[in-house]
Amino acid sequence: MIGAQANGEYRRTLLEKRAELLAGLGTKFDTRAGMDRVGEDDQAQITHDEFVSLHLNSLDYTQLRLVDEAIDRLDSGDYGICQGCEEAIPVKRLKALSWARYCVRCQETVGAEMEGEMRQERRLVHTAAR
């Protein structure tokens, strides 16, 4: 459990990050919406740019979800507790990554599991495409 003063600091940091993410998402959509029709020669570049923009938006939405979850944990009193081992997440990690759900040890385990699942999914997609 974190103290009231630290709670306020983390909340402020998380709310600032949330506002930054929301502002960035709005700007990206405004930029794409404001484009006029383009010539056929520019279609490949624009398609690539749209792909990159969608990927970046996806990353921003994922981070926004993580920030919102961290704010929920603050509200419920679970903030700063690792969701893997239920030990306290070190303050140094929370200061660097205020939306962290796991301590470093558990994050490495979760990351390795996710990486394995993604490799298996890619193999299935590749096999199905044949």
pLDDT tens, position by position, 92-114: 999 999 999 999 999 999 888 87
The structural domain count of the chain equals 1
pLDDT greater than 90 at residue 27: no
pLDDT, mean over the chain: 81
34 occurs within a structural domain: yes
More confident residue, 81 or 57: 81
Is residue 87 in a domain? no
In a domain, 109, yes or no: no
Domain membership of residue 110 (yes or no) is no
Counting residues of the chain whose pLDDT is more than 90, the rounded percentage is 43
Please determine, for residue 60, whether its predicted confidence score (pLDDT) is greater than 60.
Answer: yes
Quick one: average pLDDT of 6-16?
91
Residue 36 lies in a domain: yes
The parent domain of residue 60 ranges over 4-79
Structural domain contains residue 112: no
18 versus 58: which is more confidently predicted? 18
Instruction: Tell me the β-bridge partners of 88.
Output: 81
d(CA 100, CA 91): 11
**Residue 113 forms part of a structural domain:** no
- In tens, the pLDDT along 31-57 reads 444 455 666 667 777 666 676 676 677
pLDDT value of residue 30: 45
**Residue 111 within a domain:** no
